[in-house]
Structure 1
Amino acid sequence: MLTITNVTWLYLCLAGIGVYLVKQVFTENNPAPYPPGPLGLPLVGNVQDIPHVKPWLTFAEWGKKYGPISHVNVLGQHIFVLNSLKTTMEMLDKKSTVYSDRPVVPMSGELMGYKHTLGYLRYGERLRLYRKNFHRIIGSRAALAVYNPIEEIETHRFLKCVLAKPDQLQGHIRHTAGAIILRISYGYEVKEENDPFVFLAERALDQFSRFSITGDFMVDFLPCLAKVPEWFPGAGFKRIARECRETLEEMAAAPYKFAKDQMAAGIALKSFTLDLLDGRTLSAEEDHIVKWSAVSLYGGGADTSVSAIYSFFLAMTLFPDVQKKAQAEIDAVVGPDRLPSFADRASLPYTEALAKEVLRWNVVVASADHSTTEDDIHNGYYIPKGSLIIPNIWFMLNDPQTYANPSEFNPERFFAKDGKEPETDPRTMCFGFGRRICPGQHLADASIWISTAMSLAVFDISKVVENGVEITPEVDHSSGFISHPKPFKCSIKPRSDKALGLVQQDVKHC
């Protein structure tokens, strides 16, 4: 995290002076003013204003004070925070050719190695090829339907694990997410416990969540620090980056090699990687694109759905009336003799709305940085080329002007009622914007829905009672790039003997 030592302050001051002098000599008059924002310090700008703990809360306060676009400047890097869905869509969707780049991030992108993954790719041909791969194979519900049996089977296995060890809920969710994404990405079937690829993904994603927030390390503002040797005082970030890079490279290489070995042996299962490799002779560049497309799917899907599904169990613990309404709908449509499947989805509108509310109430990715490829003037404000654009997705999903009582978990907000239109579908913003929208959004949406429907069909989820006292979980989320609910306790029990029997049925194989 950002620690300002004497050495760092020296670098900071020297860089600030350099930036200031260059600006005095070369800067021309801007064609329009910058948006308002916190007043920075001489030379170093707003370096002390950048939040590092739950930044979305500080950004939201800026929105209240300065309006839909706030501006700060850190050592010459212009940063614009967007707190309005309307403004965000006008900029990132309608002007996507200008706002679809990614910034060069020295720590997580360059030093940790994430520059090869989809989320960090600069706007250009390689990004187009990655997205083409995703769109062809999992770019729609229809394309994804071939993998529905895998989702259903692994979620049934999840129910059995929860029944056996309900106190290990978070671990079961993570294991199931890993099983689904590894099977779809590489055709790899995970082991029951201590699977090496699941463990590898957990390690990589934990490192990414803790160390990838732009600005948490001074090297993000002073790229020259990247050249400092690892042993130099104050350069502990270099060791962290090296360890993260080694984990990421192993996560990209090991399952990719497995998939290729299975193909060579003629026993490969259908997967994202198989579909991209089968019957093709690849150049080194094409092989690189397939390898890093696959690990982008693997990494992107192995943690985001974990956060959302864990939040579903938290919401059901806190809002029992919602749980009962969804269970009543499932009982009426599906009945007690089988588990819900994707074939039931269209017939379960309240359960669908509940899954939407999970995505709104629990903001998995609070913001996703964009960068500009050219100068722009928006609503009279100057946005220079190379600026960092931060849409505050958390606030958009908690904006009281968009969502009534946003802290309340209320699926009914997505139905027309008393002459009022349904509130905005959170999927229009929680997966990002423009040409950087998450290409795995349909996979994440499917995983959350099937976990919600199956879990509600067979389990009653409630508060734990300890020593005669009911324990109410705290709603608190971590500050990482992917935000997770604070660990909590809940009671998970079969709803009936029939429900118990459904969980205990043998699980089919794909």
Structure 2
Amino acid sequence: MLFSPNPLSPLMASTYLAVAELGLVVFVLALLVSFLRSKPTARLPPGPRGFPFIGNLLDMPTEQEWFTFARWGETWGDICSVTVLGQPLIILNSAKAAFEMLDKKSAIYSDRPALQMGGELVGWKNTLVLLPYGERFRRYRRLFHQLIGSHSAMSRFLPVEEQEIHRFVRHVLAKPEDLSSHIRRSVGAVILKIAYGYEVKQNNDPFIELAEKATEQFSLATAPGGHLVDLIPALKHVPMWFPGAAFRRTADAWSRTLFQMVEQPFSFVKNQMMAGVAPVSFTSVMLSKEISSQDEFDLKWSAASLYSGAADTTVSALYAFFLAMAMNPAVAKKAQTELDAVVGTDRLPSFADREHLPYINALTKEVFRWNSVVPTAVPHRAVQNDIHDGHMIPKGSLVIPNIWKMTHDPRTYKNPMEFNPDRFLQAGERLPEPDPKDLCFGFGRRTCPGSHLADSTVFIMCATALAVFDVSKCVVNGIVIEPVHENTTGTISHPKPFKCVIKPRSEKAVGVIQGEERK
């Protein structure tokens, strides 16, 4: 006879069911806790919503990206982000955010990304601006610091700057319509003499033209979002004959320009040294020592970094100065009043006058603030994961400081679109606004080592030009042509061409200019 077990009582059945349900709940909770622990507690900074796979590729601007980045900041905050084909881009739209990340956490944010177009294909990766953070980068910085890294180091080159600025005003007096080329020649002459001991030619100097051409190409090659190969590195292996590979042919041509810019002035110094006629310069002093082939390679690219970096950025600032004077005659008149009182009208200003010219110093600061020469800087790269201000900054993120926004932030600078040197002078209880040079020359360990050179060049140009020239708007058929402050696209941005009238302030000013020529 077969016996079956007794069926469960209703009470026992409900007890077993309750235990099973409790076990299931505990199991699910354990899985959830494990999932939450494994998931990052912070997310990328906010930003515009992207699409699957391509992310924010379609949102990336193709020109003047600083305006787009600034609009994102107004919507998403001072730290915002986009992701392009899996690459996070962190945009910093305030000085506070930039200082806290790039200065205070410089150990994390001092590296550079490998820019495929400008760095790898064209070859700018060997210059200081794109060099990865490491020992070679530090060697470059030490070389620059010895040469121009402080006011005392720069003092030996001040007579060179004064001499070239005197030549500049003579050239402007003769041909004021060629202002842009006069500025480029003057700045290039200073840099080439410091770096290579080279005296530029009166017209069409080959090294000046090389620097102009190469730096314009650098600006286009490194602009954020300017080239698809920077977002899809595998494209750099596409052969030049392949359809759609025009960027490869462009990179090849730009690479040849860069090679000439690096090699030709360096060879000039070596040939001069072999002939025993090389003047003292950054390159000749270093070559006179016993150095290895690696040291010579670093020296060659360090000199090229100085030559190319200072030449184009300072040109942009000085061209903006003349635009600002044409647009703001009251500012020019106030500066000239100070110059007449301190310097007089019988000579040109010198660096010895600088401490007695507070308004000219303020005007110099305003030139750097008003016209952002490098509006979005060159991207920094995070070398490790970081949690900043509650946001996740993944390793490999590109961090882009929007310098244009920082120098035009109404929270920092009152009426930021206005050119007003008085903002940097104390008046009664009103304190000066922050010095823009703390922003314009970069952040952390990537701060521009040529800042002292740029500052001294812009100061002496502003002072000397205003001492002897009036800058005004053009009048055509009785109609005043109002100049407009608009900038070109690129890593290094210039004011777009404008028209102005440059005339000597008086016959006495003409005599002072010509008197410098006779000295």
Q: Given the two structures, how large is their TM-score scaled by the length of structure 2? A: 0.91
Distance of 1:453 and 1:274 partners within structure 2 = 32
- What is the distance in 1 between the residues matched to 2:512 and 2:490? 37
1:224 alignment counterpart:
234
Amino acid at match of 1:355: T
| Greater Rg over alpha carbons, structure | 2
- Residue 315 of structure 2 aligns to which amino acid in structure 1? V
Matched with 1:20 is none
Partner of 2:471: 461
Deviations 1:203-256 (A, max 9, x none): 111222233213211111111110000000000000110111111111101101
Aligned residue for 2:426, secondary structure, equals: coil
8 Å CA contact retained: 1:365, 1:482? yes
1:324 pairs with one of 328, 333, 337: 333
CA RMSD of aligned residues (A): 1.1
Question: Does 1:67 find its partner at 2:77?
Answer: yes
CA deviations 1:108-132 (Å, max 9, x no partner) are: 0000100000000001000000000
Q: Any conservation in 1 of the 2:115–2:222 contact (CA below 8 Å)? A: no
Structure 1 residue runs of 5 or longer lacking an equivalent are: 1-27
Q: What is the distance in 2 between the residues matched to 1:359 and 1:100?
A: 23
Amino acid at match of 2:224: T
Q: What residue in structure 2 maps to residue 243 of structure 1?
A: 253
Of 407, 417, 424 in structure 1, the residue corresponding to residue 417 of structure 2 is 407
Structure 1 residue 299 corresponds to structure 2 residue 299: no
User: What is the aligned counterpart of 2:53 among 25, 28, 43?
Assistant: 43
Letter in 2 for 1:234: G
> Which residue of structure 2 aligns with residue 5 of structure 1?
none
From 368, 373, 391, the counterpart of 2:401: 391
For residues 95 and 338 of structure 2, what CA distance do their matches in structure 1 show?
32
- 8 Å CA contact 1:133–1:276 kept in 2: the answer is no
Cα deviation code 1:395-428 (max 9, x no counterpart): 0000000000011110000012231211010000
With normalisation by structure 1, the TM-score equals 0.93
Q: Pick from 317, 339, 345 the counterpart of residue 354 of structure 2.
A: 345
SS at match of 2:298: helix
Amino acid at match of 1:275: V
Is structure 2 residue 141 aligned with structure 1 residue 141?
Answer: no
**Deviation per residue, 1:336-377 (Å, 9 max, x gap):** 111001111111010000011000001100012100111111
In the alignment, what sits opposite 1:277? 287
- Spell out the pairing of 1:43-122 with structure 2 (5 A cutoff): 43-122=53-132
Q: Does 1:360 align with 2:360?
A: no
1:503 paired with 2:503, answer no
**Greater Cα shift, 137-146 or 202-211:** 202-211
User: Residue 332 of structure 1 aligns to which amino acid in structure 2?
Assistant: A
| Separation in structure 1 between the aligned mates of residue 458 and residue 220 of structure 2, nearest angstrom | 24
Q: Which amino acid in 2 is paired with 1:461? A: V
In 2, Cα distance between equivalents of 1:97 and 1:139: 21
Contact 1:272 1:294 (C-alpha < 8 Å) held by counterparts: yes
Match of 1:418 among 420, 428, 443: 428
Kept in 2, the 8 Å contact 1:230–1:236? The answer is yes
Q: Identify the match of residue 261 of structure 1 among 254, 267, 271.
A: 271
Q: Distance in 2 between matches of 1:430 and 1:218?
A: 28
Q: Distance in 2 between matches of 1:194 and 1:486?
A: 22
Please state how far the C-alpha of 1:96 moved relative to its aligned partner: 0.4
Aligned mates of 1:123, 1:63 — CA distance in 2? 28
Could you tell me how far apart the structure 2 residues matched to 1:372 and 1:242 are? 30
2:181 is aligned to 171
1:29 CA drift (Å): 2.9
Q: 2:219 aligns with which of 187, 196, 209?
A: 209
What is the rounded CA distance, in whole Å, between the counterparts of 1:69 and 1:297 in structure 2?
32
Q: Structure 2: which 5+ residue stretches go unaligned? A: 1-37
In 1, distance between residues paired with 2:77 and 2:225?
23
> CA–CA distance in 1 between the matches of 2:360 and 2:84?
45
Residue 287 (structure 1) aligns with: 296
1:440-478 deviation line (CA, Å, top 9, x unaligned):
111111111110000000001101111111111111111
The SS at the match of 2:440 is: coil
User: Is the CA contact 2:65–2:224 (under 8 Å) kept in the aligned structure 1?
Assistant: no
Distance across 1 between alignment mates of 2:109 and 2:518: 46
Give me the whole-angstrom Cα distance separating, in 1, the residues matched to 2:359 and 2:181.
28
| Cα separation, 1, equivalents of 2:61 and 2:427 | 39
One-letter identity of the residue aligned with 2:197: G
Q: Is it true that 1:197 corresponds to 2:228 in the alignment? A: no
- Note the C-alpha offset of 1:31: 4.0
Q: CA–CA distance in 2 between the matches of 1:508 and 1:427?
A: 37
8 Å contact 2:78–2:97 — kept in the other structure?
Answer: yes
Q: CA deviation at 1:270?
A: 2.0
What is the one-letter code of the residue matched to 2:128?
Answer: L
Q: Which moved more, 1:497-506 or 1:478-487?
A: 497-506
CA deviation after TM superposition for structure 1 residue 506, in Å: 4.3
- The aligned amino acid for 1:478 is T
Alpha-carbon separation, structure 2, partners of 1:194 and 1:34: 51
Q: Hey, which bits of structure 1, 4+ residues long, moved more than 6 A?
A: none
Q: CA–CA distance in 2 between the matches of 1:30 and 1:387? A: 16
Deviations 1:266-322 (A, max 9, x none): 2222222123222x1211110111000000000001111111111100010011111
1:158 to 161, 168, 172: 168
Contact 1:105 1:214 in 2 (8 A): no
d(CA) in 1 for partners of 2:469 and 2:360?
A: 15
